[in-house]
Structure 1
Amino acid sequence: MTQIVETDVAIIGAGPAGLFAVFECGMLKMRATLIDTLEAVGGQCSALYPEKPIYDVPGFPSVQAGDLIENLKAQMAPFKPVELLAQRVESLSPEGEGFVLGTSAGNTVKAKAVIIAAGAGAFGPNRPPLERLEEFEATGAVRYMVTRREEFRGKRVVIAGGGDSAVDWALSLKDVAAKVVVVHRRPKFRAAPETAAQLEEAAARGEIELAIPYQLHGLEGEGGQMQAVTLSTLKGEVKRVEADHLLAFFGLSTDLGPIAEWGLGLERSHIAVEPATCETSIKGVYAVGDVATYPGKLKLILQGFSEGAMAAHAIHPRVFPGQELHFEYSTSKGVGG
């Protein structure tokens, strides 16, 4: 069912910078709506490396990416943002003093200002070229990300890929799944050496099965319920693996999509902004995080956090014209819903 959402600030992108921007807007009594192409918030931190440690977030000597996202979700929770997930912003047009955004799901968002926190752009999985793929995607038998490990308890899982996500989830799911088979076309994995070594050790103990050198060949099952995944070698040898789920980790493709057509003054697929406010060439539209660029820009999560705060303060006069903003520290002000 489509909906029309009226909000103060529409935030495109629900990665770390977008989530913190919700908090900063909330602290200034501005309502926010999050829009993201992925099915869950968190951006790359959730979709690509939820169990990887991050070492340069202030106050955390080390924090797993997934834990950072959970903390950011808890931090913004008091402000109850509207979340429009699994959909892309297809259009942006001015309306009065604000903007109207249309999404691929048919939803309409009316906002007084827009923050683009799209990272490298809209994410979508690199999907394997298999027959009947959509049939099994529809039931969740084929997935490209994991949000709840418990969903795979007692299940037979085939994981395809050779990067960090494939290795991390193989190590994580081996403790809950009935069986984990990792499919890769060559013996060497692209994951971090430490976790790749852990995978080899788990395979030697019989906790994980490695199907090497194989690649995906086909899917078997009825009514969207998977029964097996067939694998093949370059020599044409075929192997059948009984399975309930296929997790395909071939990375995510990124694309700014319609954002690139909004006349925002792109510089090599990045949006040029005013450093003091993060405002783009369109008044009322701001960009923060990895998608934003200006002289001296550093692509760090902490910089995206800072930019979210600057953008929120710059937006305040648009949402509350004529109302003077008195800056207060959160320690004095507290967090109000």
Structure 2
Amino acid sequence: MFDIHNPTTDHHDMRDLTIIGGGPTGIFAAFQCGMNNISCRIVESMAQLGGQLAALYPEKHIYDVAGFPEVPAIDLVESLWKQAERYNPDVVLGETVTKYTKLDDGTFETRTDAGNVYRSKALLIAAGLGAFEPRKLPQLGNIDHLVGSSVFYAVRSVSDFKDKHVVIVGGGDSALDWTVGLMKTAASVTLVHRGHEFQGHGKTAHEVEMAREAGTIAVHLETEVRRIEESSGELCRLYLRSSSGEESCLDADRLLILIGFKSNLGPLAGWDLELCDNALVVDTHMKTSVDGLYAAGDIAHYPGKLKIIQTGLSEATMAVRHSLSYIKPGEKIRNVFSSVKMAKEKKAAEANNAAEGASKASENKAE
């Protein structure tokens, strides 16, 4: 994972914007802060930036982000951070924001579970779907002791499945993606889905069907995993039951359960913000029901919302842009093209380097 080099300023200094959430939307919001010449901090509950992309499926390939025909999730996160890093955003990791307070002067204080308080002129919530946990198979009982060795709810490293007999449970995009993605790595791949057809569609679903017809993988539709068998603390066999009551078993040493996640707003649910479908209602400026408090990404809701990464990046841009009128009241906001801004920054950097070089040459001459 990439390194994060924080500026030397105190975390607790006033910032123009505090960004709650360090997923793709939050990271891109930090870049947009730099583009609009305002300071920011990211507060992320996990120990790394990247949100679900980094935590759940870093090796999964993404195909629907502009400019990337195909990119591994972790590479996209690293590219986003490289873009934002040039403006040295302050980053706080491993702390969950539990409460916010809007002060009489219109500024905000956010308190975290670590007891820290961070101050800013405005807030942007980019917390994705909030807290999340994978959906499990209740019929299997408590299998926590197998999680991370034989049972997985996400693919963090393809090497965990190398030369293994893998059973994947699910019929959505993630299950289909990894059915295809693990075919060349695993000793065998079997897909089990309780429905009569896949929820996932498009190219990957077609590839699964082609692999099934070719005998490269096995597919069991209208079937559930009913119980498992262990040997020496490791998974060794699964027992299946079809909707017609037919039972079967198969050898397996890896079970990958990809049936979605349950999202929970966590502390956000108690912030007295307008909610709809477990998300924060925003207007066309990405503002919530509280002035100065904005939302972007999967956590934001408005009519016609499309929950994809590309949408979140666009919303981050709008949220930061529209927050300027709150952060700098009465100041005329001018639009500056990125090419013009970058050209000025490069010219200033070259001038600074030249001045430093001349100063060093002068010092050497004096010596």
Q: TM-score, normalised by structure 1?
A: 0.75
Deviation at 1:241, TM superposition (A): 2.1
Paired position in structure 2 for 1:307: 315
Matched, 1:102 2:117: no
Paired position in structure 1 for 2:289: 281
Deviation at 1:23, TM superposition (A): 1.5
Structure 2 residue identity aligned to 1:126: R
Paired position in structure 1 for 2:361: none
Structure 2 residue identity aligned to 1:200: E
- Decide which of 144, 150, 156 is 1:134's aligned counterpart: 144
Deviation at 1:29, TM superposition (A): 5.2
Matched, 1:17 2:29: no
For residues 116-135 of structure 1, what are the alpha-carbon distances to aligned partners after superposition, in whole Å with 9 as ceiling and x for unaligned? Answer: 12345443221121223221
CA radius of gyration, larger in: 2
Deviates more, 1:38-47 or 1:141-150: 38-47
- Aligned partners of 2:119, 2:150: CA distance in 1, in Å? 37
- Aligned partners of 2:322, 2:187: CA distance in 1, in Å? 53
- Decide which of 217, 220, 234 is 1:226's aligned counterpart: 234
SS of structure 1 residue aligned to 2:26: helix
Matched, 1:242 2:252: yes
Q: Residue 182 and residue 88 in structure 1: after superposition, are their counterparts in 2 closer, same or farther (change >3 A)?
A: farther
Paired position in structure 2 for 1:147: 156
Where in structure 2 are the equivalents of 1:68-147 lying within 5 Å?
Answer: 68-69=76-77, 71-78=79-86, 79=88, 82=91, 84=93, 89-94=97-102, 97-103=107-113, 106=114, 108=116, 110-112=118-120, 113-129=122-138, 130-137=140-147, 139-147=148-156
Structure 2 residue identity aligned to 1:75: Q
- Aligned partners of 1:122, 1:281: CA distance in 2, in Å? 21
- Aligned partners of 2:277, 2:173: CA distance in 1, in Å? 27
Deviation at 1:291, TM superposition (A): 3.4
Paired position in structure 1 for 2:7: none
- Aligned partners of 1:83, 1:141: CA distance in 2, in Å? 33
Give % identity.
Answer: 32
Structure 1 residue runs without a partner (length 5+): none
Paired position in structure 2 for 1:330: 338
Deviation at 1:305, TM superposition (A): 2.9
Q: Residue 219 and residue 6 in structure 1: after superposition, are their counterparts in 2 closer, same or farther (change >3 A)?
A: farther
SS of structure 2 residue aligned to 1:275: coil
Structure 2 residue identity aligned to 1:228: C
- Aligned partners of 2:26, 2:46: CA distance in 1, in Å? 13
- Aligned partners of 2:308, 2:209: CA distance in 1, in Å? 32
- Decide which of 148, 172, 175 is 1:163's aligned counterpart: 172
Where in structure 2 are the equivalents of 1:38-57 lying within 5 Å?
Answer: 41-43=50-52, 50-51=60-61, 53-54=63-64
Q: In the alignment, is the contact (CA less than 8 A) between 2:42 and 2:89 conserved in 1?
A: no
SS of structure 1 residue aligned to 2:127: coil
Q: Count residues with an aligned counterpart.
A: 324
Q: 1 or 2 for the larger relative contact order (CA 8 Å, sep ≥6)? A: 1
SS of structure 1 residue aligned to 2:175: helix
Structure 2 residue runs without a partner (length 5+): 1-9, 347-367
Deviates more, 1:163-172 or 1:121-130: 121-130
Where in structure 2 are the equivalents of 1:174-189 lying within 5 Å?
Answer: 174-186=183-195, 188-189=197-198
Deviation at 1:246, TM superposition (A): 1.9
Deviates more, 1:5-14 or 1:195-204: 5-14
- Aligned partners of 1:45, 1:186: CA distance in 2, in Å? 29
- Aligned partners of 1:238, 1:330: CA distance in 2, in Å? 61
- Aligned partners of 2:200, 2:303: CA distance in 1, in Å? 33
Matched, 1:258 2:267: yes
Deviates more, 1:17-26 or 1:201-210: 201-210
